[in-house]
Chains A and B, each alone.
Chain A
Amino acid sequence: MLKIGELAAVGEVSSDTLRFYEREGLIAPTSKSAGGYRLYDDDAVVRLRFIKQARDCGFTLAEIQQLLVLRNQSEACCGDVRQRAIEKKLQLEAKIRVLSAMSKALDHLIADCSNETHPIDRCPILGALEKATASAGLGGKE
Chain B
Amino acid sequence: MKIELFYALGCDKCASNRTSLKVAAERAVPGLEWHELNVLEHMDYAVELGVLNLPAIAIDGALEFPALPSAKQLVAAITRKSAVAESR
- Chain A positions within 8 Å of B, measured between CB atoms, are 77-80, 82-83, 86-87, 89-91, 93-94, 97
Expressed in whole angstroms, the Cα–Cα distance for A82 and B14 within the complex equals: 13
State A44–B84 Cα separation when bound (angstroms): 58
How near does chain A come to B49, taking the closest CB pair, in angstroms? Answer: 10
Query: Does B47 have its Cβ within 8 Å of any Cβ on chain A?
Result: yes
- Structural contact, B53 and A87, CB atoms closer than 8 A: yes
Q: How far is the CB of B74 from chain A (nearest CB, A)?
A: 21
Chain B binding surface, main DSSP class? loop
The chain B residues found within 8 Å of chain A, CB to CB, are 8-14, 39-40, 43-44, 46-47, 50-54
Interface of A is mostly: helix
Inter-subunit contact A83/B52 (CB<8 Å) = no
Most chain-B CB neighbours within 10 Å: which of A77, A82, A87, A97?
A87
Known contacts A78-B10, A90-B39; is-contact A83 B54 (Cβ 8 Å)? yes
In the bound complex, residues from chain A placing their C-beta under 8 Å from that of B40 are 86
User: What residue in chain A is nearest B15 (Cβ atoms)?
Assistant: A79
A77, A82, A93: the one within 8 Å of B47 (CB): A93
Q: Known: A86-B39, A86-B40, A97-B47. Is A91-B52 also a contact (CB below 8 A)?
A: yes
